[in-house]
Each structure stands twice: as C-alpha cells, then as structure tokens.
Amino acid sequence: MRVLGIETSCDETSAAVLEGEGDDVSLKSLVILSQDVHSIFGGVVPEIASRAHLTAIVPVVEKALSDAGVTRIDAVAVTNAPGLVGALLVGVSFAKAYAFANKVPVIGVHHMEGHLFATALEHKDATPPFTALLVSGGHTLLLDVESWGTYRLLGKTRDDAAGEAFDKVAKLLGLPYPGGPHVERLAAATTNSGEFRFARPMVRRNQTVADPDFYDVSFSGLKTAVLTAVKQSNLEQTRGQIARAFQDSLIDTLVEKTTRAARQFGRGRVVLGGGVACNATLVAAMRERFEPRGVQVFAPSPRLATDNAAMIARAGLFHLERGERSELDLNAFASQPIPGLVAA
Ligand code: KG4
Ligand code: ZN
C-alpha cells in the first residue's frame, strides 16, 4: 500500500509518501516546511500558523509526490488531533478533498501515535513490545507498548511538557525560541552546574507503583526553581550552569521514570520519540542507564523526532491495514486521548 501522509498540527507543514506492508515499509519522500516566523514572537501564534499552512499545503504535497516519483497513492493519512485546531483543519480539509477527488480512503491519525511509530521508520527493531517515552513540545507520555495499537498509559506530565519546560527555561535564560536545542548546546558546553542543583521532581526513594506520582512527571516547580536562580544570580556568569542544572534534573527524572516502567513490564527495548528526543544528552543518559542492563535504546534522528508526515503515514498505514477508515466528516480536535489505550 502507498500512503500519502499529511501533518499540520503545529508549525510544520509536512507531507510524505510511504510504501510497504506492516513493519516492512520504505519512505519514498518527506518534505517538511518549518514556519520560522514564530521565533519573532517567542512561541507559535495559532492564526499565523493556520495561514502559513494554507499557503504551503499544496506545494508541499506536490513536492512530496514528485520527490517520490508517483502520481497515484492508495490512501491519505492525516493528523486530526491533538494540536492547534485551525492548523489541524488545514491538513484535514486538504486530505479529505484530495482523498475524495482521487477516490481513495482517508484516515485520521493521532499526532502522538505518529511519534510512537517514527523510530521504527529508521530502526527495524524499534517494534513492540517496548517501553516508550514520548517527549514533545505539548506532551510527555510514558507508555508500555505491548503491540502496535495496544498502549498502557503509565505516566504523563501534570503541568508543562518536557519540550515546553525547555522552551520556557530558554526564555528565562534569554535564549531564542524554540529553546530546546539552545539549552542543550549551552549545557553541553558547561563543565558542571557549579552551585546549582535542582530537585528531581516526583522522584523519591521508597516510592511504589501504588503511589499516584510513581510514573507522572511535573516540570513547573523546576521552572520556578530556575526563575529563582536567575533572579538571585548574575546571569552573564551563571547562564551555562543554570542550563546545565536544569537539564540534569529533567533528564535524571525522565531516565528514572522510564527505568521504572521498563522494569515493571520486563521490557528489553526503550523507544524515545518527540522533539526532545533530539537531545543527545538525554539519549546518552538513557543508553548509559539501560545498556548495562541489556536493554536496547532507540531514538529517531532529529528529522523524524520532530514533527513530520512520515510518522503520520506510518501510523496511518497500521490503521488502514486493520481495515479502519475515516469518513468525510472527519474533524480536528485540540485534545484527544491516544487511541488503543488499555487499563494500566
Ligand atoms: O515533537 P515536536 O517537534 O513538536 C510537538 O509536537 O510539540 O517537539 C518540539 C519540542 C520543542 O519544545 C523543542 O524545544 C524541543 O522539542 N526540542 C528539544 C531539542 N530539540 C527540540 N528539546 C531539548 N533538546 C533538544 N535538542
Ligand atoms: Zn509533535
């Protein structure tokens, strides 16, 4: 089956062509147009994002089809939740019209399920069963993935997502948006965190799985700790150390929670996804923790970690192969639980 994937949930207009069956797929093309305009405002401006998608969607899809060297596809997969509704609607409306005109089925895809499939596009063994940590700008999800389509939601953030915490801390440190890569670079260039050490949120000794915060994370307190440190020091001298202390705390927390999940379910694989999975320090810390235990860690390359339509085509293919289809009344939703959830 040949699937056209479309992603417009935030500030990337993306289209991709994917061909294959089950886990045996090949990516024929991937086009990602990033809307850099938002960096002027220090965050994504929804109305600007929708308008930019509208201008870009036709040429982006045309380029994906021509890069793949195809004129016919068998189905269209499109992100329809969660995300900015106005932005999602551009992709959803285009996908429905394209599918109707070409007499092919359309399938709505949950953006985070897309992130879950991204790593498998590059790593043949990043397939279930595995423990998944999805860390993006809008979500932080810790899942046990028994098989594609069967997900146990173990933990999530109670406030800021991991990427959002990076972006907000970057702002406090006077770094550009999106902040993740800037904080990472600054932290990596700083030998140690000096006098700064921030508590690991929701990580305590003697916690048990019966505790409601055993798997959940929370980063708003960490952000406040950064704010206090910024106010009480001369930022020109401490910027690097604070970035380092923040990143150390956030990464330690994610590594600890992921370790608990992999241990409870006896998983031999950990799969990372979402924009924060671009963070090489996070990936290295996961490897350092898991590899001595014989657990493999898989992370997508930056192009597939951040928002892209290849992962949407891949998740869509899975649903299409199960015989699922969306109707032409497919709508966009700002929030929606990931499909396939089973009781934890
Ligand atoms: O998955 P994504 O592209 O979009 C959403 O679905 O939200 O993730 C974007 C997020 C941003 O918050 C960005 O700062 C973060 O990923 N990010 C990083 C890095 N690269 C991107 N965070 C930490 N370190 C990085 N190297
Ligand atoms: Zn995303």
Q: Which residue's CA is the closest to the ligand 1 atom numbered 3?
A: 306
Span 187-208, mean pLDDT?
A: 95
Taking the C-alpha atoms of residue 289 and residue 216, their distance in angstroms, rounded to an integer, is 19
Span 150-161, mean pLDDT?
A: 98
> 101 C-alpha vs ligand 2 centroid, how far in Å?
29
On the question of pLDDT at 172 being above 90, the answer is yes
Class of domain 126-299: alpha beta
Lookup: tokens for 307? 């928002």
Taking the C-alpha atoms of residue 144 and residue 133, their distance in angstroms, rounded to an integer, is 9
> 142 C-alpha vs ligand 2 centroid, how far in Å?
15
When pLDDT is cut at 50, 70 and 90, the band that residue 22 belongs to is very high
pLDDT of residue 344: 85
When pLDDT is cut at 50, 70 and 90, the band that residue 147 belongs to is very high
Atom of ligand 1 nearest to the CA of 247: 23
Q: Where are the alpha helices (DSSP H) in 71-199?
A: 85-102, 111-118, 162-172, 180-188
Which residues line ligand 1 at a C-beta cut-off of 6 Å?
10, 136-138, 163-164, 166-167, 178-181, 184, 274-276, 278-279, 306-307
Provide the edge-to-edge strand list for the sheet that holds 2-7.
24-34, 12-21, 2-7, 75-81, 106-110
Q: Which one of 35, 44, 166, 186 would you pick to mutate in the ligand 1 pocket, going by the greatest count of ligand atoms within 8 A of its CB?
A: 166
On the question of pLDDT at 280 being above 90, the answer is yes
Can you spell out the DSSP letters for 297-341?
EE---HHHHSS-HHHHHHHHHHHHHTT--B-TT----S--PPTTE
On the question of pLDDT at 246 being above 90, the answer is yes
Class of domain 2-116+306-342: alpha beta
**Percentage of residues in the chain having pLDDT higher than 70:** 100
For the segment 97-142, what is each residue's pLDDT rounded down to a tens digit? Answer: 999 999 999 999 999 999 999 999 999 999 999 999 999 999 999 9
Q: Which one of 278, 281, 308 would you pick to mutate in the ligand 1 pocket, going by the greatest count of ligand atoms within 8 A of its CB?
A: 278
When pLDDT is cut at 50, 70 and 90, the band that residue 242 belongs to is very high
User: Mean pLDDT in the chain?
Assistant: 97
For the segment 50-78, what is each residue's pLDDT rounded down to a tens digit? Answer: 999 999 999 999 999 999 999 999 999 99
- Ligand nearest the Cα of residue 304 is 1
β-bridge partners, 32: 14
Q: Which residue's CA is the closest to the ligand 1 atom numbered 7?
A: 137
Q: What is the DSSP letter of 51?
A: H
For the segment 285-332, what is each residue's pLDDT rounded down to a tens digit? Answer: 999 999 999 999 999 999 999 999 999 999 999 999 999 999 999 999
> 179 C-alpha vs ligand 2 centroid, how far in Å?
15
Q: Which residue's CA is the closest to the ligand 1 atom numbered 21?
A: 275
Do domains 2-116+306-342 and 126-299 share one topology? The answer is yes
Q: Which one of 276, 286, 307, 338 would you pick to mutate in the ligand 1 pocket, going by the greatest count of ligand atoms within 8 A of its CB?
A: 276
Span 221-246, mean pLDDT?
A: 98
Contact 249, 199 (CB under 8 A): yes
> 58 C-alpha vs ligand 1 centroid, how far in Å?
26
What is the domain partition of the chain in residue ranges? 2-116+306-342, 126-299
Taking the C-alpha atoms of residue 148 and residue 110, their distance in angstroms, rounded to an integer, is 13
Rounded to 10 degrees, what is the CA torsion of 220, 308, 279, 292? 110
Count the helices and strands in the chain (H runs, E runs): 10, 11
Q: Which residue's CA is the closest to the ligand 1 atom numbered 2?
A: 275
For the segment 84-102, what is each residue's pLDDT rounded down to a tens digit? Answer: 999 999 999 999 999 999 9
> 99 C-alpha vs ligand 2 centroid, how far in Å?
24
Q: Which residue's CA is the closest to the ligand 1 atom numbered 23?
A: 180
